[in-house]
Amino acid sequence: MSKKNIYTEIKKEFKHLIKDNNLLNEKITVTARALSIKEAIGNPKRQNYPIVKGKEKLMQAEYKGFYGQAFTDMPGSYHGSIADVLNLPLDSNYNRGIFIATLNAIMNFLGRGQNFIHCKDEEPESCSKELVEYINKTYGNKKITLIGFQPAFLETLSENFDVRVLDLDDDKIGTKEYGVLIEDGIKNKEDALEWCDIIVSTGSSIVNQTIDNYILCDKPTIFYGTSIAGTAKLLGLERFCRYSK
C-alpha cells in the first residue's frame, strides 16, 4: 500500500461511515483546537515528553460532546462541517491533524472503538509497564525499534529489551536518553527497521505521513496513542493504549 493509498483508504472508509450513519448533510459543525499541556497530559513528574517541551500540540475535535485527538507540529483552530473536513486536502500536518482528530471524534460519537482521550499524570508510566508485559506475553523477548521519543516507553522498554529509537526532532537526534541513542528517523530508518523484530510506533505517524514506513514493513507493528484510535479501528491495525479514555 502506497502513502497515497493509505489516506485514500482512510478517507473512503470514513466517508462510508458518515453516509451509513446519515451524518454527511448535518449542519452541526466540528470544532477543533490545540489543548494546553495540562489539558492534554495533566502534570506528569517526567518533564521530557515532546508535548511538555512544546514540540507538538494535541489537537482536539469535538462533535456533539464527543472528542477525538491528534498530535501535530502544526496546530491551529478549525470550525466547519463534516463535509468540509472530508473535503480537506491531506497535504499538511495541519490538515491531517484536523482530519484525524475529527475522524476520532466521529468514531467516538458512533461508539466505534475506544480510548480516544489521552491519559494524564502518571498513567503513561503505568502504560509503559503494561506494554512490557504485553510484548513479553505476545511476542517474547524481541528486538524493538521505537518510533517517536516517548520517554516512559523508552526507559521501560530499554530495561527489558534491546531497543533502538527513531525520532524526527533535530534537537533530540544524536543525543542519548536512558542510555539509548536517539537516531535520525529518516537517515537511520531502513537500518533500524531491518534490525528489529517488532516496531512500536507513535500513532502520530498517521498525521506526519510516515505511517507507510511501518505498515508496509514486514514486521509486527504496535501503534500507541490516541491519534491512531480511529484509523487502527478502520484498518485493523494493532494498537496499545491502556489508560486513555
Residue at a domain's end among 110, 142, 171: 110
- The residue-averaged pLDDT of 198-222 equals 93
Q: Is residue 65 part of a domain?
A: yes
One domain for residues 214 and 189 = yes
Q: Is residue 142 part of a domain?
A: yes
Q: Residue 142: which of 214, 202, 203, 221 has the closest Cα?
A: 221
- The residue-averaged pLDDT of 113-129 equals 93
One domain for residues 157 and 225 = yes
The residue type at 94? Y
pLDDT of the residue at 236: 93
One domain for residues 191 and 103 = no
pLDDT of the residue at 31: 78
- The residue-averaged pLDDT of 94-100 equals 94
Q: Is residue 117 part of a domain?
A: no
One domain for residues 194 and 139 = yes
One domain for residues 94 and 131 = no
Give the CATH number, domain containing residue 128. Answer: 3.40.50.11590
- Asked whether residue 125 carries a pLDDT value surpassing 80, the answer given is yes
Pair 204, 56: CB distance under 8 Å: yes
Q: Report the side by side order of strands in the sheet with 78-81.
A: 66-72, 57-63, 29-34, 78-81
Q: What percent of the chain has pLDDT over 90?
A: 70
**Residues 138-196: pLDDT tens digits?**
999 999 999 999 999 999 999 999 999 999 989 899 999 999 999 999 999 999 999 99
Number of folded domains that form the chain: 2
Domain interval for residue 66: 3-110
Residue 21 in grid coordinates: 450513519
pTM of the model: 0.91
Q: Is residue 219 part of a domain?
A: yes
One domain for residues 57 and 101 = yes
Instruction: Quickly tell me which residue has 537516531 as its cell.
Output: 183
pLDDT of the residue at 140: 97
Q: What gap in Å lies between CA 154 and CA 80, rounded to an integer?
A: 38
One domain for residues 154 and 232 = yes
Residue at a domain's end among 67, 89, 110: 110
pLDDT of the residue at 207: 95
Pair 227, 116: CB distance under 8 Å: no
Residue at a domain's end among 78, 110, 142: 110
Q: What percent of the chain has pLDDT over 70?
A: 92
**Residues 4-54: pLDDT tens digits?**
478 999 999 999 999 999 887 766 567 777 778 777 677 777 676 665 445
One domain for residues 42 and 82 = yes
pLDDT of the residue at 48: 61
Q: Is residue 167 part of a domain?
A: yes
Q: Is residue 116 part of a domain?
A: no
One domain for residues 164 and 185 = yes
One domain for residues 89 and 133 = no
pLDDT of the residue at 40: 67
Q: Is residue 177 part of a domain?
A: yes
Q: Is residue 208 part of a domain?
A: yes
168-176 contact pairs (CB < 8 A, 24+): 168/208, 168/210, 169/50, 169/55, 171/55
One domain for residues 191 and 104 = no
pLDDT of the residue at 98: 93
One domain for residues 145 and 224 = yes
